[in-house]
Amino acid sequence: MADPTNHANAANPLPVATVDDVKRINPLVPMKARVTRIIEETSDVKTFCVSTIGEDGMPAAPFHTGPGQLAMLSLPGVGEAMFSATDAPDHLQISIKKVGLLTEQLHEICEGQTVGIRGPYGNGFDMEAMKGKNVLFIGGGIGLAPVRSVVRYCVDHREDYGNLHLIYGARTYDDLVFKYDLFETWPKVPDFKVSVTVDRGDDNWKGNVGFVPAFIEQLHPSPENTVCILCGPPIMIKFTLGVLDKLGFTPENVITTLEMRMKCGIGKCGRCNIGSCFVCLDGPVFSLAQLKLLPNEY
Amino acid sequence: MKAFPKDKLTAVLDTLAKQATLWVPAIVAGVSRFAPYGPGREVQLGANTVMSPKEALFPATEKIYEYSAYGIDGEFTPVDPSVGPQILFGLRSCDMQGILCLDDVFLTRGYVDDYYAKKREEATLVTLGCVTPGPDCFCYAMGVNPAEHAASDAQLFDLGDAYGIVARTAKGEALVSALETAGLLSESDKAPLPTGDFVLKVDAEGITEKLQHMFDHPLWDAFSRKCLNCGACAYICPTCHCFDISDKKRNAHCGIKIKCWDTCMYSEYALMAGGHNPRPSKKERVRQRFMHKLRYFPERYGKLQCTGCGRCIAKCPVNLEITDVIQQVREAKIDG
Amino acid sequence: MSDNMRNNVRDNMGHMNNQLTQEMRDLARELLASGEVKGLFGWTKGSRWYLTPPVFITKPEEADRLCYDEFAVNNLTGLLLDFRDSQDKIAVFVKGCDSRGIVRLVQDNQLKRENIVVIGVPCPGMGDKGAVTDHRQAQELPLLAKCLECRYPNPVLADRTIGAVTVTTEPSAAPSGATAEAAKGRGVGSKEADRFAQVEAIEKMSPDERYAFWQAQNKKCIRCYACRNICPACNCRECIFDSDKKNWVNKAATPTDNAFFGITRAMHVAGRCVECGECERVCPMDIPIMAMNRKLIGDLNELFGPYDAGVKADEKPPLGAFKLDDPEEFM
């Protein structure tokens, strides 16, 4: 399985728009964009490759998102919603699980569909602060989407980071997203260990069977000079935090992303307010230490 | 100071209305609110309006862009946020303070909301010093001076038989000189009438700090039992700024994206597509409202998000009064 | 009325209020102390003399917070909806008009009758706080219009009563119990015949005038939903106006969209409105909501025969039952 989304010429990186460039545009009006490719990850997750389009119909300024940042994707006439975005060299990748009306409609669209895109929003992961450290990635289900943006960054800047270890789980083999990365691309990266588990095994699956928290305990990753990046369903997070604590990870070194309903993306509309923070602006990336300072209302 | 006799008010308003859309406190279909001045408008400068003046800068519903979708093609056409020059006449100090809160939200922290910013930039704000506080007023407790507000473009003072006017900014000076050119102003040596006594007594000293230890306090259960979770308080509030962005379809192919008022009081406000709601019951929503005004907003922007205008107190169907919340929070015992 | 007489009325009212308040507290204390109920909705004295808002208490020692006077205007029955999924027994004080809300909630299967202890109170008629001129000092106030038009001054059902009030499902019965004299003196029910006056006045308008009238009202609506949220008949678990997902209605507060809300709300409570008038009282924009409700009540009376919703628990609402002689023939 080769990465079907990676059709950029890595030797010729395109210029990228800075956050400031995007801010100059009215932040509530989407830029016109086109879905150039749709990848079916699982029965209910699709990855949409999106490129902005200018007046002439040609790709406009690339829409660059940092690891962990968000993009507001809108389908005209249906609605818009905030998603975690992954930067690819000449386009944006947004992996979407079918959960509501908008996402159901998004799953119906074809390649070539015009969509709106605005952002990027949010703080993203502090990749500078993580330099020189080992990184432990933990993901569950569609939670691998935000994690993947960090993994890709670390792989692209391999020399800046220590050992990489991904622990990922989903309900079944069929529910694993980004299989081409999990089984083809990432295992080939030097000093990158990829550990995958499924809740329920089947004939297709030769690997580990069990829940993520138990799998982590079994793998026993070292907290030594290590930052842990954690995204997944709330129940998985809850049990995983207990395991990480037991393993000796400090709250400062466990980093996660929060999910809240968002409308404006720029810290105005109030919806994603938790305490004195707005998840769309001050988050979605928070360390566990930061979360402990916020009201438990997410 | 420069002044015009009260019986020249109409002439003053007529003059100003020639320069810009002039918003005045008035009775419209039985409700007092700020409304564009024009023939037959019942101007009412004597009391706080039911609706806050925020709707002039942050309308209940406004278009942000138009969209169309034909097959796989789509277009997004922004709507010009400008409404042309506006004068907001007869704001109270509490209203002005409310606009400063909106400024913090819409104009700071990295992003600017163009729809608010444009209207704010185009607006000249004329405040009027309060002489008779209303029965539900408590601005003094929120750090607001009812007699005048330093952030206004021009300040009016009640001098008894005349209104004194002082310009505070270039916009205010332009407005005053327009009145001068029209021959409406003369010099007065009268002192402004003092502000009368307040009916409501409350002390909010230390409220933000106290609330930092009260997220799990049983008080929120008690408040929420009578709250209806309606949006009356938020919609008439001069500082409540939460909004929704949603579609107003014209037909299957095109429509308008609107920005419209919304409130944390509504059950679906924070409800996510998968069904999870971080504030699932009345208790969390009531807590959010008061925490936001009295703790989160001060933590983020350094000022209380309540200006003591008393509108929510006057109109709450169950008398869930913010002054009472403040009082009870201050008296509450905290474990540990 | 001379000043002297006015003072007498006020003193008498004050005395009665004290007595009723005492009875109220005693009964609440008893119900909570014995464990018969887990909580109780009543009224308490608010921040000013003309405010007597709702309160919920759960401990016998909180009984002293209860208070009853001519400002205990809130219908508390809608607040019971917070307990619709609970097995806890809750007590609630009801005036005549409020009591019909209980029937409404039980008929709509929102509450189990056995989970509610209904305590009937006599009603002196509620004062109109809009007429207050001195916010510091108590004064005599005119009655709310809805009290002048009152047809059910006595509770239509109750498990317990205070103030010797009579429980009756008879319309237009005279006010009873401790406040009977005061209620009569103040004019409770005296304008009963005017109940449809506003509807008639609006019906007399030309179509254009009527359109302009409602358009002005709809323009005012801020979609705060206070009318819906206080109403014992508006008890849907999920209101369509809370969901923009299905595009039934959008959130734009335009006169057209607001009218859609207003008419939908009125149609939805048609045949179920208990005429407590709370929707109109709580409207911050002073929209004459009861005119809509009354229009539908009048039409239903005409079509199906006289019917008062929320009076008799075993009597089905006209739009909730099918009869062979119904005017609609499509069945």
The stretches of A9-100 forming alpha helices (DSSP H) are 19-24
Q: Which of A196, A248, A242, A256 is nearest to A225 (CA)?
A: A248
Give yes or no: residues B55 and B167 share one domain: yes
Give yes or no: residues B166 and B285 share one domain: no
The mean-pLDDT minimum among A7-21, A252-266, B116-130 falls in A7-21
- The two three-digit tokens of residue A165, written as one number: 């270890």
- Residue C230 to residue B230, Cβ atoms within 8 A: yes
Q: Which of B69, B106, B276 sits opposite A268 (nearest CB)?
A: B106
B65 neighbourhood in chain A, CB within 8 Å:
28-30
The predicted model gives A261-288 an average pLDDT of 94
**Domain end point (choices B136, B157, B187):** B187
Give the nearest chain A residue to B260 (CA atoms): A269
Alpha carbon distance B229, B266 (integer Å): 6
B243 neighbourhood in chain A, CB within 8 Å:
263-264, 268-270
pLDDT at A17: 39
Q: How many CB atoms lie within 10 A of CB B74?
A: 23
Which residues are within 8 A (CB) of A265 and not within 5 positions of it... i.e. 6 or more apart? A27, A70, A72, A82, A118, A119, A121, A280
pLDDT band of A172, cuts 50, 70, 90: very high
Interchain CB contact of A100 with C (< 8 Å): yes
Alpha carbon distance B110, B88 (integer Å): 27
The answer to whether residue B105 is domain-embedded is yes
The predicted model gives A183-200 an average pLDDT of 96
Q: How far apart are the first and last CA of chain C?
A: 59
pLDDT band of A3, cuts 50, 70, 90: very low
Interchain CB contact of A267 with B (< 8 Å): yes
Give yes or no: residues B132 and B7 share one domain: yes
Q: Which of C46, C216, C250 sits opposite B319 (nearest CB)?
A: C46
Closest Cα of chain C to B279: distance in Å?
A: 15
The answer to whether residue B93 is domain-embedded is yes
Name residue B116's amino acid.
Y
pLDDT band of C6, cuts 50, 70, 90: low
Residue-averaged pLDDT of chain C: 92
Give yes or no: residues B30 and B78 share one domain: yes
pLDDT 10s digits, C210-240: 999 999 999 999 999 999 999 999 999 989 8
Give the nearest chain C residue to B327 (CA atoms): C47
Percent of chain C at pLDDT above 90?
82
Interface test with C, best of A75, A78, A99, A101 (most C CBs within 10 A): A101
Whether residue C96 contacts residue C114, with contact meaning beta carbons closer than 8 Å, is answered with: no
Domain with B163, as residue range(s), is: 2-187
Interface of C with A in 56-115 (CB under 8 A): none
Whether residue B263 contacts residue B240, with contact meaning beta carbons closer than 8 Å, is answered with: yes
Give yes or no: residues B240 and B312 share one domain: yes
Whether residue B135 contacts residue B129, with contact meaning beta carbons closer than 8 Å, is answered with: no
Alpha carbon distance A17, A15 (integer Å): 7
Closest Cα of chain B to C285: distance in Å?
A: 6
Alpha carbon distance B218, B324 (integer Å): 15
pLDDT band of A26, cuts 50, 70, 90: low
More confident residue, A4 or B102: B102
* Number of domains, chain B: 2
pLDDT at B27: 95
The answer to whether residue B198 is domain-embedded is no
Give yes or no: residues B10 and B127 share one domain: yes
Percent of chain C at pLDDT above 70?
94
Q: Which of C87, C119, C89 is nearest to C102 (CA)?
A: C119
- Residue C230 to residue B266, Cβ atoms within 8 A: no
Q: How many CB atoms lie within 10 A of CB A246?
A: 11
- Residue A276 to residue B109, Cβ atoms within 8 A: no
B76 neighbourhood in chain A, CB within 8 Å:
29-32, 76, 116
Interchain CB contact of A101 with C (< 8 Å): yes
pLDDT 10s digits, A100-147: 889 999 999 999 999 999 989 999 999 999 999 999 999 999 999 999
B255 neighbourhood in chain A, CB within 8 Å:
77
Alpha carbon distance B329, B275 (integer Å): 32
Q: Which of B60, B61, B249 sits opposite C247 (nearest CB)?
A: B249
Give yes or no: residues B224 and B94 share one domain: no
Q: Which of C51, C224, C242 sits opposite B235 (nearest CB)?
A: C224
Give yes or no: residues B72 and B8 share one domain: yes
Give yes or no: residues B182 and B225 share one domain: no
pLDDT 10s digits, C269-313: 999 999 999 999 999 999 999 999 999 999 999 988 999 999 998
Residues of chain B predicted below pLDDT 70 = 336
Give yes or no: residues B231 and B178 share one domain: no
> Strands (DSSP E) along B118-180, which ranges?
123-128, 154-158, 162-167
Closest Cα of chain C to B65: distance in Å?
A: 14
Give yes or no: residues B54 and B166 share one domain: yes
The mean-pLDDT minimum among A2-6, A186-190, B234-238, C78-82 falls in A2-6
Q: Which of B71, B253, B247 is nearest to A109 (CA)?
A: B71
The answer to whether residue B197 is domain-embedded is no
Sign of the Cα torsion B162, B168, B169, B173 reads: positive
Q: What is the DSSP letter of B193?
A: P
- Residue B111 to residue A295, Cβ atoms within 8 A: no
Give yes or no: residues B304 and B226 share one domain: yes
Q: What's the whole-model pTM score?
A: 0.93
Instruction: Count interface pairs A-B at CB distance under 8 A.
Output: 133
pLDDT at A25: 58
B260 neighbourhood in chain C, CB within 8 Å:
251-253
Which chains have 3 or more CB–CB distances shorter than 8 Å to chain B? A, C
**Domain end point (choices B156, B187, B218):** B187
What radius of gyration, in Å, describes the C-alpha atoms of chain B?
A: 22
The answer to whether residue B202 is domain-embedded is no
Sign of the Cα torsion C107, C109, C115, C116 reads: negative
Give the nearest chain A residue to B281 (CA atoms): A297
Alpha carbon distance B99, C286 (integer Å): 26
**Domain end point (choices B157, B187, B217):** B187
In Å, the largest CA–CA distance within chain A is: 57
A270 neighbourhood in chain B, CB within 8 Å:
241-243, 262, 264, 292
Q: How many CB atoms lie within 10 A of CB B191?
A: 11
The answer to whether residue B244 is domain-embedded is yes
Interface test with B, best of C69, C136, C229, C234 (most B CBs within 10 A): C229
- The two three-digit tokens of residue A58, written as one number: 């040609």
Numbers of helices and strands, H then E, in chain A: 8, 15
Sign of the Cα torsion B25, B27, B33, B35 reads: negative
The answer to whether residue B81 is domain-embedded is yes
- Residue C46 to residue B321, Cβ atoms within 8 A: yes
Alpha carbon distance A60, A65 (integer Å): 15
The answer to whether residue B64 is domain-embedded is yes
Interchain CB contact of A101 with B (< 8 Å): yes
